[in-house]
Amino acid sequence: MNILALLLTALLFGGMTLYAFGFAAFVLRALPEETARPLIRRAFPHFYLFVLGTAALAAVCAAFSDLLSTVILVVIALTTLYARQSLMPRINAATDAGHTKRFKLLHVFSVLITLAHIAGAAWAIIRLGVTL
């Protein structure tokens, strides 16, 4: 189970990193804003489902070998649920209402959450790799 936990956590880390620093950045640079923003908005719910599902499954597998990695992955899953169900709708509402300052504040918060998730997944990978 530890190897499966390690592989799932590596998938989580890679997926989050690719989305945050690859896909989203590329779309925002490569497409006109009026096309890029709606595309990113439609992609985020799927991204959050990927993070939530992968973190939860990795946590179940990690529970057999490392308690701290399990806790980290559960926290990632729970905070992703918050980001998807609460934070993302507030970001979208701020955008729709033209509240630029509120959007920026909420967006920075969502970016910090994602960076914390990436760091947490990296920490869990290291811990799970050491327990092999």
Q: pLDDT digit string (tens) for 33-74?
A: 999 999 999 999 999 999 999 999 999 999 999 999 999 999
Mean pLDDT of 12-38: 95
pLDDT of residue 132: 76
Mean pLDDT of the chain: 96
Using CB atoms within 10 A of its CB, is residue 10 exposed (0-12), middle (13-18) or buried (19+)? middle
Query: Where in the chain are the domains?
Result: 2-130
CB 79 within 8 A of CB 117: yes
Question: How much is the pTM?
Answer: 0.95
Dihedral over alpha carbons 11, 69, 46, 98 (to 10 degrees): -130
**What's the pLDDT band for 13 if we cut at 50, 70, 90?**
very high
- Contacts of residue 36, Cβ cutoff 8 Å, sequence gap at least 6: 27, 28, 30
